[in-house]
Chain A
């Protein structure tokens, strides 16, 4: 998980659509330009996070997979 993110969200063990719902909630607390680092285990979150960012206009700075864990960094726009 990135240590430079403004806020972090642990969505490990959560299943669809909880990672997205929690991400949305966490982003609500952030200001424009601030970042949220998310770690999840739901394999569907890889595609879902992309779709979520595209639809909501937030920037998906990075997404990566490491041993069944998915890490995302989102910048609020």
Chain B
């Protein structure tokens, strides 16, 4: 062994190598984390007005945070991609939904009208009225409309995918939907995207 090799062998102890590796590893991991763009994948399956909010709020906010966002709309969720949004809300069978008047004096607004299911089910147009009241409440409280949130998603380059199987199943045609749809795909195409996402939600 020559002199330089001997010097190297004496100094490159396993402990020193371990220390070097740990430092290097930490630095590299921090670098990777800093360069990482977070991603969100949502599977949206509900088509009522109340259930339209969670996917669009989360997707638009993630977009504003600079995340990569993709949403797969399937079954009733496809309703959220229609050109003309006619989303309704049903208080029937939903005991958690507060039934409050969005107008009138405060004492009237404070009353939570607990209407029995059998009454709701028996009154024609009950859901139309409930939807109208909900839309008014949303406006009063400065909450965004679904249309507004969907536009925000598209502006943030969120990829909105439609489930092709549902289109066939429900007898829809593609021209009923917004032209910005990123693709007409199936579970086999979306799952690999969901697999790579940091956050994956089924709504």
Contact, CB under 8 Å: A17 / B57: yes
* Cα A42 to Cα B61 with chains together (Å): 15
* Cα A21 to Cα B64 with chains together (Å): 6
Contact, CB under 8 Å: B61 / A17: yes
- Is A20's CB within 8 Å of the partner chain B? yes
- Is B183's CB within 8 Å of the partner chain A? no
* Cα A26 to Cα B109 with chains together (Å): 35
A48, chain B: closest CB distance, angstroms: 9
* Cα A52 to Cα B143 with chains together (Å): 19
Contact, CB under 8 Å: A17 / B60: yes
- Is A56's CB within 8 Å of the partner chain B? yes
- Is B152's CB within 8 Å of the partner chain A? yes
- Taking Cβ atoms with an 8 Å cutoff, the residues of A that contact B are 13-18, 20-21, 23-25, 41-42, 52, 55-56
- Taking Cβ atoms with an 8 Å cutoff, the residues of B that contact A are 57, 60-61, 64-66, 141-144, 148-149, 152, 155-156
A-B contact pairs, 7 of them (CB 8 A): A15-B141, A17-B64, A21-B61, A21-B152, A24-B64, A55-B66, A56-B66
